A and B are shown apart, each in its own frame.
Chain A
Amino acid sequence: MKKRIKIIFCFIITLLIVTQTGCQSERELNQLVIVMGIGLDSDQQNPDNIKVIAQIVLPGSMKQSENGGSSGSSGKAYENVESSSSDTFDAVREYTHMLTGKLYIAHNQIFIISRAVAEKGMEQYMDFFIRAVETRPTAIIAISDTTAEAVLSVQSKLNEFPAINIQKLVEDSVSHSQTAEVNLINYINAMQSETVSFFAPMVFIEQNAEGTVASVKGLAVFSRDKMVGEFNEDETRGLLWVKGLVKSGVLKVTVSGGIASLEISGAQGSVSPSVEDGKVSMKITVSAKTRLGEQTGKEDLSTPEMTKMLEGLAEEKIENEITQAYTKAVSLGADVFGFGEQIHKYYMNDWRKMKDKWAETFPQIQLDMKINVDVTADGTITKPILSEKGTNNE
């Protein structure tokens, strides 16, 4: 009898553990307010305030467009909601007055920050998102040339959500290497470093015949959490060469009689610092594999001599890009290359001495570039099919 009571007691306890402690963070799928993208704008009326724009998914209208087909084009699958307050958390809380349910930011793909906010310093507004458990650390950070709201309203033909569209554009930047994919983790790392400057892709809005189009190119360069300037496409690639982030892209060189475009099929880049008597020099090694993608002239570029010449021109071009990037970085006073970190890593004692006057040391660095380009293939043809006389029928 006593045994039986004990068994029943154990059973009840198990039941209570399951039923009473559980279901705490339970949330049904159809109660979620899924956020695809978050924009941070400065408030026009009240400059001290931050305007948080959330792109939320409307699952109902998505379903319609699946079934209806033709009727689908009428309804948008998303909606941008905005609220404004003195701090981000408060602004996000404001949404509870407007939406049935809390914002669910675990699927947030992108943070778009307006130029105004970025120039003012964005860390105070990002703290909330970095602190939140739900935030995806791989969410991309992009800087809007105008406002975040404008970028989040540009409807794309290929992607249903503007936020996803920008995210895809940034991710696809590997094909031209003229902007970089930067996510929340990179941001956090850069902010924690003493000298490294943060950079993020720039989003521009361009008007064309069919309406507005968002385009991603170049980089916004930061000093600490404040945006100080921009890199154009060439400077961006110069930076990416050094960081070894170039994966693909096109190198255009001028040859006699036209232009030759070399498609980059793979590249490596590395930096090794050396400090001698307080003089800092950086050995930058870049090696790239390319193939001839296009030529506008009629010359036969497939001969060994011409290939050598092409490689030389390409190396010159890369060197030029890197120099441009370095010059721009010096003018902005932003160590985007992470040279400081390199010295910190390999020359601890020297670093302690030069840490405080790094701003003066950075422009003095001597770049020692070793660039090697290989043209490995010419495509399916060697010389152009309409080539110069006499060389055609050998």
Chain B
Amino acid sequence: MVRYIKKIRTFYKIKKGSESGKAPEIFDDGECLHSSISENIVIIKDRIGESPDVNIKEFKLGGDGVSGALIMIDGLSDKELADLIVLKPLMYDAGFKFEAGGSGGIDIDVINRNFLSSNQSSKLSCFGKVIDDILSGNAVLLLDGAAQALSIGLRKWDKRNIDAPKTETVIRGPAEGFTETLIVNTSMLRRRIKSPDFRMESLKIGKQTKTDVCLIYMRNIVLPGLLDEVRKRLMAISTDSILDSGYIEAYIEDAPFSIFSTVGNSERPDTVAARLLEGRIAIVVDGSPFVLTVPMVFIESFQSAEDYYIRPYFATLLRFTRILCYFITLLAPALYVALTTYHQEFLPTKLLFTMTAGLSGVPFPALVEALLMVVIFDILKEAGIRLPKPIGSAVSIVGALVIGQSAVTAGLIGPFMVIIVSITAIANFVVPAQSDSITIMRYIFLILAAALGGFGIAMGILFILIYLVSLKSFGVQYLSPIMPFYREGMKDCFVRMPVWDMIKRPFRITGKNIKRRSGLEQRGKKT
């Protein structure tokens, strides 16, 4: 069966690969601008349509000179600034130089150089580019007699302020998260890494959405092959729309049928900056506060930004807690079912009595009992996320009291199952990065435990381990640095060593620049 899944995967890869090499499509039919402004305006109107937010301001230079037009989209461009830096100088100050029907042509460079007090302007000559620029928020200036247009950078729209990240909250550490605006996100990263080697590459992906996607890496650290691979996979994306970084993730991930995610994401600039400095590549997508980082490894899910800001002993303790919680939330209901239906001799005698006493009168077998509670927990979790906040608390009261307490008093389930599901639920939130795969595997383990007992659980774990060992993310083994073992990587795996001891970067993917620090001086403190 594994072989067949692999076949699907290779098939999928070939399909993806066949489209590679093609540059992301830009809407450009190559038609050039005409010199007549009225003709140009008609064509642009035809292309964009008569939407109410398309703002075409026609005017004459100097009040009665050459006619011109400024085209922009309401809400995407700064209207006041357009008045100030484009319309005012052209209408009041430039008129005497360019009179109607003057020397025939009009030099658009002169206008650009002498009259526009904008720091971001470029010449365009094709309709395709003109339309693209208008739609992305720039203002486009057309002048009669010129077969070129000027695009003026006036992008400005309402956006969310930089806010504390909703996920991955920490107590100690920076409290700012990415927003939906690409340029704000990249600036947050740039502010953290003031190195000339911090490089960005911009792409537009999506035939319709033309979403800006930014590839960020440290030029001196990243492995060139990895960069090429990421670039190739991004180029190969051929789709209508990219609305969130999740779309990109789906197109570039190594194992599209896997329940494990092979592309990491983060809402925290400090986390992404740290990953960049480990030699990974970040993919920022306009419109999404979640920045993708590749390659991803399994142990990454157990690392929190705060681990590096607090002292190493406690950070290590937290790591162990998270790993423990991973197994609790994955296996607790399954172990309960296996123990109560197959391996009663494993229970301490006293506990067996209390459990039997608690279960007397419960009408369902352990599997049904466990499934019931696990499903109820998933319902509550989902409802808690989707509901408006004020109602959310009501749901938790109903969930905790009515279902927990009453189900036991009514004799529907045993009191132990409530404890098991509670600890499962709480532990579930300790490892949020793996929570989706955990939820699916929990059901699988439940059924395995009910059918085959502890043997089933052992088989399940074995199968998943074999699978994880074979999984790769952009050429990096998913279970590294544990398997294959890499000593430097182990310093930031189960145990978080002091920062000054992590001399080398944790992955073998980095190019020549493996060391973070020379490591000769012990901590910088010694002379």
Docked-complex contact A29 and B341, CB < 8 angstroms: yes
Docked-complex contact B341 and A32, CB < 8 angstroms: no
Tell me if B312 counts as interface (CB < 8 A to partner A). Answer: no
Q: Which of B341, B358, B361 contacts A27 (CB 8 A)?
A: B341
Which of B20-28, B43-51, B344-352, B370-378 lies on the face that meets chain A?
B344-352
Tell me if A6 counts as interface (CB < 8 A to partner B). Answer: yes
Tell me if B448 counts as interface (CB < 8 A to partner A). Answer: yes
Q: Which residues of B contact A19 (CB under 8 A)?
A: 451
Q: Given A25-B342, A107-B349, A109-B349, decide whether A18 and B448 contact each other with a Cβ distance below 8 A.
A: yes
Nearest Cβ on chain A to B257's Cβ, whole angstroms: 12
Tell me if A292 counts as interface (CB < 8 A to partner B). Answer: no
Tell me if B360 counts as interface (CB < 8 A to partner A). Answer: yes
Tell me if B355 counts as interface (CB < 8 A to partner A). Answer: yes
Tell me if B340 counts as interface (CB < 8 A to partner A). Answer: yes
Interface residues of B in 433-465 (CB under 8 A from A): 447-448, 450-453, 456
Tell me if A356 counts as interface (CB < 8 A to partner B). Answer: no
Q: Which residues of B contact A48 (CB under 8 A)?
A: none
Nearest Cβ on chain A to B266's Cβ, whole angstroms: 36
Which of A54-62, A121-129, A220-228 lies on the face that meets chain B?
A54-62
Tell me if B202 counts as interface (CB < 8 A to partner A). Answer: no
Docked-complex contact A22 and B360, CB < 8 angstroms: no
Nearest Cβ on chain B to A358's Cβ, whole angstroms: 40
How many angstroms from the CA of A66 to the CA of B360 in the assembled complex?
14
Tell me if A104 counts as interface (CB < 8 A to partner B). Answer: yes
Q: Which residues of A contact B344 (CB under 8 A)?
A: 27, 29, 32, 104, 106-107
Interface residues of B in 488-509 (CB under 8 A from A): none
Tell me if A346 counts as interface (CB < 8 A to partner B). Answer: no
Tell me if B356 counts as interface (CB < 8 A to partner A). Answer: yes
Tell me if B359 counts as interface (CB < 8 A to partner A). Answer: yes
Docked-complex contact B456 and A22, CB < 8 angstroms: yes
Tell me if A14 counts as interface (CB < 8 A to partner B). Answer: yes
Interface residues of B in 319-357 (CB under 8 A from A): 340-342, 344-345, 349, 352-357
Tell me if B484 counts as interface (CB < 8 A to partner A). Answer: no
Tell me if A317 counts as interface (CB < 8 A to partner B). Answer: no
Docked-complex contact A62 and B450, CB < 8 angstroms: no
Nearest opposing residue in chain A for B356, CB measure: A59
How many angstroms from the CA of A23 to the CA of B366 in the assembled complex?
12
Tell me if B487 counts as interface (CB < 8 A to partner A). Answer: no
Q: Which residues of B contact A29 (CB under 8 A)?
A: 340-341, 344, 352, 355-356, 359, 366
Tell me if A3 counts as interface (CB < 8 A to partner B). Answer: yes
Chain B residues touching A, majority SS = helix
How many angstroms from the CA of A3 to the CA of B447 in the assembled complex?
27
Nearest opposing residue in chain A for B452, CB measure: A22
Tell me if B365 counts as interface (CB < 8 A to partner A). Answer: yes
Select the residue from A11, A36, A62, A104 with max chain B CB neighbours within 10 A.
A62
Docked-complex contact A59 and B451, CB < 8 angstroms: no
Nearest Cβ on chain B to A28's Cβ, whole angstroms: 5
Q: Which of B7, B358, B361 contacts A3 (CB 8 A)?
A: B7
Nearest Cβ on chain B to A72's Cβ, whole angstroms: 12
How many angstroms from the CA of A14 to the CA of B444 in the assembled complex?
12
Tell me if A136 counts as interface (CB < 8 A to partner B). Answer: yes
Tell me if B362 counts as interface (CB < 8 A to partner A). Answer: yes
Chain A residues touching B, majority SS = helix
Docked-complex contact A59 and B353, CB < 8 angstroms: yes
Q: Which residues of B contact A7 (CB under 8 A)?
A: 1, 4
Nearest opposing residue in chain B for A160, CB measure: B353
Q: Which residues of B contact A134 (CB under 8 A)?
A: 345
Q: Which residues of B contact A57 (CB under 8 A)?
A: 353, 356
Docked-complex contact B357 and A63, CB < 8 angstroms: yes
Instruction: Give the number of chain A interface residues (Cβ < 8 Å).
Output: 32
How many angstroms from the CA of A66 to the CA of B362 in the assembled complex?
18
How many angstroms from the CA of A106 to the CA of B339 in the assembled complex?
13
Q: Which residues of A contact B341 (CB under 8 A)?
A: 26-29
Q: Given A18-B452, A22-B452, decide whether A10 and B4 contact each other with a Cβ distance below 8 A.
A: yes
Q: Which residues of B contact A104 (CB under 8 A)?
A: 344
Tell me if A250 counts as interface (CB < 8 A to partner B). Answer: no
Nearest Cβ on chain A to B355's Cβ, whole angstroms: 6
Nearest Cβ on chain A to B55's Cβ, whole angstroms: 54
Docked-complex contact B1 and A11, CB < 8 angstroms: yes
Q: Given A32-B344, A63-B360, decide whether A3 and B4 contact each other with a Cβ distance below 8 A.
A: yes
Nearest Cβ on chain A to B448's Cβ, whole angstroms: 7
Q: Which residues of A contact B7 (CB under 8 A)?
A: 3
Q: Given A7-B4, A29-B366, A104-B344, decide whether A18 and B451 contact each other with a Cβ distance below 8 A.
A: yes
Tell me if A393 counts as interface (CB < 8 A to partner B). Answer: no
Q: Which residues of A contact B355 (CB under 8 A)?
A: 29
Q: Given A10-B1, A10-B4, A18-B451, decide whether A28 and B353 contact each other with a Cβ distance below 8 A.
A: no
Docked-complex contact B360 and A107, CB < 8 angstroms: no
Docked-complex contact B360 and A23, CB < 8 angstroms: no
Q: Which of A6, A18, A34 contacts B356 (CB 8 A)?
A: A34
Select the residue from A19, A26, A60, A107 with max chain B CB neighbours within 10 A.
A26
Q: Mark A51-88, 1 if CB is under 8 A from B, else 0.
A: 00000010110110010000000000000000000000
Interface residues of B in 45-104 (CB under 8 A from A): none
Q: Which residues of A contact B357 (CB under 8 A)?
A: 59-60, 62-63, 66
How many angstroms from the CA of A192 to the CA of B447 in the assembled complex?
44
Nearest Cβ on chain A to B452's Cβ, whole angstroms: 5
How many angstroms from the CA of A36 to the CA of B349 in the assembled complex?
9
Docked-complex contact B345 and A34, CB < 8 angstroms: no
Q: Which residues of A contact B362 (CB under 8 A)?
A: 30
Docked-complex contact A30 and B359, CB < 8 angstroms: yes
Q: Mark A11-52, 1 if CB is under 8 A from B, else 0.
A: 100100011011101111110101010000000000000000
Q: Which residues of A contact B450 (CB under 8 A)?
A: 22-23, 26
Docked-complex contact B340 and A28, CB < 8 angstroms: yes
How many angstroms from the CA of A22 to the CA of B459 in the assembled complex?
13
Nearest Cβ on chain A to B136's Cβ, whole angstroms: 44
How many angstroms from the CA of A7 to the CA of B358 in the assembled complex?
44
Interface residues of B in 1-59 (CB under 8 A from A): 1, 4, 7
Nearest Cβ on chain A to B291's Cβ, whole angstroms: 36
How many angstroms from the CA of A60 to the CA of B358 in the assembled complex?
9
Q: Which residues of A contact B345 (CB under 8 A)?
A: 106-107, 134, 136
Nearest Cβ on chain B to A152's Cβ, whole angstroms: 16
Docked-complex contact A14 and B356, CB < 8 angstroms: no
Docked-complex contact A63 and B358, CB < 8 angstroms: yes
Q: Which residues of B contact A32 (CB under 8 A)?
A: 344, 356
Q: Which residues of A contact B365 (CB under 8 A)?
A: 28
Nearest Cβ on chain B to A223's Cβ, whole angstroms: 34
Docked-complex contact B366 and A107, CB < 8 angstroms: no
Could you list 4 further interchain pairs (A-B, Cβ under 8 angstroms) beyond the known A36-B349, A63-B360?
Answer: A3-B7, A7-B4, A11-B1, A18-B451
A binding-site residues for B, Cβ under 8 Å? 3, 6-7, 10-11, 14, 18-19, 21-23, 25-30, 32, 34, 36, 57, 59-60, 62-63, 66, 104, 106-107, 109, 134, 136
Which 4 pairs between the two chains have the least Cβ-Cβ distance?
Answer: A22-B451, A106-B345, A59-B356, A63-B357
Ordered by A's residue number, 5 sampled pairs between the chains whose C-beta atoms are within 8 Å are A28-B366, A29-B356, A59-B359, A62-B354, A63-B360
